[in-house]
Structure 1
Amino acid sequence: MMKLHKFLTFASEAEIVGLWGLAMIVLALIATLAEVRRQKRARIDRVGWVPWRAIFLTAAITGGGLILLAIKGLLAG
C-alpha cells in the first residue's frame, strides 16, 4: 500500500492522466458486459433504465483520448 501511495505522490501528470484513461477503459468494458447481459435477459419487458451503450461510448472515447495524451506526455519527457 505504501508503494502505491509513493507512486501516486511522485507520479507525473502524464502518468496520472494515463491511469484515469485506463479507469475509463475499464468502465467501458464493464458497460459492455452490462449491455450484453441486458440483451440476453429472459424477460424482454424488464430491460432496465441505464443507457449502457451511451456509457460505453463516452467512457471509451474519453479513455482513449486520455491515454493518447498520456503517451504524448510520457514520450515528451
Structure 2
Amino acid sequence: MGLIERYELLSDAGQVAVIGAGLWALAAVFALMEWRRTRRRKRDLARLEAIGWVPWTGLFMLAALLGAGCLAMSLPVVLRG
C-alpha cells in the first residue's frame, strides 16, 4: 500500500494532523533559510539584486501558525482515538 492510499484511509483529523506536521517541517526549513541569510557578513547590494529577496521570516510565521492551527484542530480527535 502506497503513501497516498494510507493517507486516504486516515480520518479527517488524522489528515489535518499530517498537513499540520508538514507545515511545521516547512516552517523549520524557512527558519533555517533565514538563519543562513542573517549569518552572511557581506551585505553587497549588487549581489542581493542578483539573487533576489525572499521574506523568510514572514513565510516562517505563516507556515508555523497554519501548522499550529491544523494541529490544534486535530488534537482532540486524535487523542480520543
TM score, norm. by length of structure 2: 0.80
Q: CA deviation at 1:3?
A: 4.8
Higher radius of gyration, 1 or 2: 2
Deviation track 1:16-64 (CA, whole Å, cap 9, x = no partner) reads 0001000110111001000000001132134541000000000111101
| CA distance, structure 2, for counterparts of residue 9 and residue 65 of structure 1 | 21
Higher relative contact order (CA 8 A, sep 6+): 2
Letter in 2 for 1:30: V
The number of residue pairs the alignment matches comes to 76
SS at match of 1:43: coil
Q: Counterparts of 2:79 and 2:32 in 1: how far apart (Å)?
A: 33
User: How is 1:13-28 mapped onto 2 (pairs within 5 angstroms)?
Assistant: 13-28=12-27
Structure 2: unaligned runs, 5 residues or longer: none
Q: TM-score, normalised by structure 1?
A: 0.84
Give the whole-Å Cα distance in 2 for the aligned partners of 1:31 and 1:20: 16
Q: Give percent identity, aligned residues only.
A: 36
Instruction: Could you tell me which runs of 5 or more consecutive residues in structure 1 were left unpaired when the two chains were aligned.
Output: none
The answer for the alignment partner of 1:65 in structure 2 is 69
